[in-house]
Amino acid sequence: MPNMRYVILQRSDKLQYIEMPADYAYQLSALNLRLNKEISKLTVQDKPELPLAVAECDNLDLLQETSHTISGLDYINELERNFSSLNESNYPLISLLTEIRALQAQLEQWYEEEAV
């Protein structure tokens, strides 16, 4: 089993548990903090609702039956879809999409290598 870390995100009163390859967990946390910082600068009406990264950990034991982990690749794919669908003209959205897509490509490569 590859070394995994968990990035815990909070949206309102709900937590999300993102399972990431250990070498990429910090990148997801940093990307999340940057997106939260920059999202207020977007001028579109329907901005994606972003959770806030609140913690990282190596081991995770979920105690609630309704709680589950989300694959880092699934999470970043959804994030990319949400941001690429925005019709933003005033803020340089491409810089945020570039960061999202860079991590997305790294995760895709990691999962391909692990599948071999």
Q: Using one digit for the tens of pLDDT, what is the confidence trace for 64-107? A: 999 999 999 999 999 999 999 998 877 788 889 999 999 999 99
Q: pTM of the predicted model, to two decimals?
A: 0.91
Range of the domain at 36: 4-115
| CA–CA separation, 98 and 34 (whole Å) | 13
CB atoms < 10 A from the CB of 41, how many? Answer: 13
Count structural domains, the chain. 1
| CA–CA separation, 22 and 73 (whole Å) | 13
| CA–CA separation, 55 and 29 (whole Å) | 8
